[in-house]
Chains A and B, each alone.
Chain A
Amino acid sequence: MKHKKYIVGSFILFYSVLYFSYPYAASSYQFESYLAPSRMHWLGTNSVGQDVVALLIEGTKWSLIVGFVVATASTLLSVVLGVWSGYFRKWDSLWNGLANVLLVLPNLLIILLVIAFTGGQYTMLLVLMSVLSWPAYMRIIRAQVMSLKEREFIQISRQLGNSHLYILTRHFPAHLKSLVQTKWIMTFRYAILTEAGLAFLGLGDPVKVTWGKLLHDGFSNPTIFLNGSWTWLVLPPVLLLAIVTVYISFIIEGKNVKRTKSSLRKEVHCTKEAGLRGEQITLHYGVSKPIFENVSLDVQRGEIVSITGPSGSGKTSLARAMYGILPVAYYEGHGQMDGEWTSHPKFASAHYFKTIAFMYQDARAAFNPLLPLRQQFEELGVTQDEMNEALKEVQLYETIANRYPHECSGGMLSRVLVALTFVWRPHYVICDEVTSALDPILKKEIIFLLQKKAKQLNCGVLMITHDHDVAHAISDRTLQMTKENRDD
């Protein structure tokens, strides 16, 4: 949306030129009814002899004013109340409760109820819409403020002795800016559409000309569809409304739409050598500067190979590339296992967790929170007995399988992950930072389990870790990656 400024600017320019130079007034009824568009009347006249362009000019003004006034008032309300209740927590339950109550019922119903008794005067509508439309974003802003307030840099700022006013005026605006912009634009659209809808129902202000009023006047007379006058009476306001609101949607969404490269097809010729091998892998994430270049390594059955290196060295991506799960557009070279290309479309269903398994770094994040553990075993195709045996081998009771992940401790989940990894007796296992988040005692236990299972099954293990001690203590070979490249 680079051209946003120009589009909005030229609209305003065009509109003001028309506004000041168009010869007819919206209030004059001096022409014949249903004149077709001509050089005199660009969009003809309506049933009572008003010039349609003049009406549109007038309607545009009042419709846009609804948008501006309501958007500004409602945005102010939601920011002030959101910050007030989120930051100071004063009267929080009152404002939040009120917002909840207002959110339960659609605004429209309340507006209808009130204007049924008071009539739909223009100012009345402005006030009603402003007062009813703040809650949704007030809640979002409140939540954002509450989480910001707990953020470390705000806490630090407080400890450095800064006042609330300073924090609110210096730290907060940049964080709330995009939220406030979105809220304003959304409300702008909401207000214009709601007013138009009410006017269309015949419940708006009867004397103010707006886009909705023009629609209502058009539709209240069914003959327009017979004499063809709908093309200049109904179509222009419909199109104006549609264009403005659709354009607003694209402004809002334009903020967060991005494109990615489509994946490349590539041909790979695998050598026949045994073992899990990475061949000449260069990681570049589809951009020019590579993270590392031409890394080759192999893991044979029965040995433990470790890759160590600081964060950002690309070791986790290397593991994913060798497993064949990293999109091929992100790297050159390939991974192969016993002569088969790991990124081949058929490799996954044939070998994943059967001959080669991946042990995920964070056990809590690796399990689907909405499925009991049993189902996360069963989807691999293992039987009840196999699962129970696997669980027993990591010193867990069978009943744990009926639990959901959130009902297990971190230690249990780590052990379940080990059980899952080895349940099909794979030939190779890739372990990605499996111990880095664990406390020392659990770490030792999990590594012991891993070592034991690998030995028992004559498994080739590729360990990714940033812990040099662990790497050197358990591996047959260790590869170290630096930020720039690989050392052996």
Chain B
Amino acid sequence: MKHVRLRSYVVVFLALILLNFALPRMMPGGPIDFIEGQDSGPTLTKEQKESILAYYALDESPVTQWVRYMKGVVTLDFGTSFQYRQDVGAVIREHLPYTLSLVGVATLISIIISIVFGLYSGYQAVHKGDRVLFGTMLVFSALPEFLVGMFLLITYSVMLPIFPMSGAATPFLENASLLNMMLDRIQHAVLPITTLILATVPSLYLLMRNETVRIMQAPFIEFAQMKGIHTRTLLRKHVFKNALLPVFTMMMLRVGLTFTGAIFVETLFSYPGIGKLLRDAIVSRDYPLMHGLFFLFTSIILMINLLTDWIYPKLDPRIRKEDPM
């Protein structure tokens, strides 16, 4: 089982690297003709064309191109961004912290909220508290990040101007003490983080609730109730872990999705993280930067998957004993 999963990660990784290599070279007439042939996007200046040609080195033989390309991948050297005229690594390093803090905070809060609400709701299943929560979550589960974000933006930036509409910090902040700067940053992050939370919680909550409802019907829960155990102990010791385990993998996959959600949220709120960077790179056809960012996104998501596979057996004694790996 474990080997199979590991193998599929390697396959995914290689396939994406290959795709990234082959796609621009497979386009009829090469990347430039292809871009020009489309009626969309910005027209390319001569300088841009030259940099694209130099980047892909199309005059060399395919083998040399591949070697050069792989060398770049292995040494994590993705070239120079057309747009920023800077090393891709440096550009990414500058924007990564914004996304990590958005997604990190949002993920942590989402997991806690959805587990607590899911447990409560599943335990109370079909009573009033559960019905209200369940209905609300169902509504939110239908809405993707950009719609939730738009509602928040319209409500709290346009109609009630409490939070700023865009950016990660106010430029030229007056009275720029350290405290004020921090408050300013937090103020800018509130709406994006809330959006991510609102978009992530419902699906995690629904997973947790449904599993809790299922576990609550298990014989060992009835037997635990027959032992006269208190509700809180029952939930903590008997329900929580049994309900969490089957959905743990799904939940972690969902967390991976939060990173792609960041692309929408950052674009909507003009938040300078790697999500917006990726979107801008695609729109302005900054191929080296795109290459680096796709590599990063893939790695992050695969890392989360690996981490999940590593943690899971430690949580489930039934697997631990059978497979000592």
Contact = CB atoms under 8 A, between A and B. Distances in A.
Contact of B144 (A106, A197, A248): A197
A242 B41 CA distance: 29
A312 interface: no
Contact of A117 (B24, B233, B297): B24
Contacts of A436: none
B217 to A, nearest CB: 11
A352 B282 contact: no
A249 B142 contact: yes
B80 to A, nearest CB: 18
Nearest to B145: A197
Contacts of A260: 126
Contacts of A351: 228
Interface residues of B, number: 78
B182 to A, nearest CB: 27
A348 B229 CA distance: 8
Contacts of A262: 127
Interface in A207-246: 207, 215, 219, 225, 230, 234-235, 238, 241-242, 245-246
B143 A242 contact: yes
A429 B253 CA distance: 47
A369 interface: yes
Q: Which 9 A-B pairs have the closest CB atoms?
A: A352-B228, A365-B219, A245-B142, A249-B142, A348-B228, A117-B23, A366-B223, A206-B40, A246-B142
Contacts of A201: 263-264, 267, 279, 283
Contacts of A219: 268
21 contacts: A100-B5, A104-B302, A104-B305, A105-B298, A106-B256, A108-B263, A113-B16, A113-B19, A116-B285, A117-B27, A118-B23, A193-B144, A203-B279, A249-B141, A249-B142, A325-B225, A360-B226, A366-B220, A368-B224, A369-B318, A404-B318
A359 to B, nearest CB: 9
B227 A380 contact: yes
- Find the residue from B20, B223, B233, B260 having the highest chain A CB count within 10 A: B223
Contacts of B218: 365
Given A200-B146, A365-B220, A406-B318, A238 B151 contact: yes
B16 A104 contact: no
Interface in B276-325: 278-279, 282-283, 285, 290, 294, 297-298, 301-302, 305, 316-318, 321
B185 interface: no
A367 interface: yes
Contacts of B11: 97, 101
Interface in B192-216: none
A258 B126 contact: yes
Contacts of B283: 201-203
A13 B70 CA distance: 57
A417 to B, nearest CB: 9
- Find the residue from A105, A118, A323, A325 having the highest chain B CB count within 10 A: A105
B173 to A, nearest CB: 21
A353 B228 contact: yes
B138 A253 contact: yes
Interface stretch (B61-69, B89-97, B111-119, B237-245): B237-245
B204 to A, nearest CB: 15
Contact of A230 (B151, B158, B253): B158
Nearest to A189: B142
A352 B230 CA distance: 11
A113 B23 contact: yes
A108 B220 contact: no
A91 interface: no
Nearest to A351: B228
A241 B141 CA distance: 13
A242 B316 CA distance: 39
A214 B142 CA distance: 20
A30 interface: no
A360 B219 contact: yes
A371 B166 CA distance: 49
A358 interface: yes
A235 B142 CA distance: 17
A314 B31 CA distance: 75
B301 A105 contact: yes
B231 to A, nearest CB: 10
Nearest to B241: A370
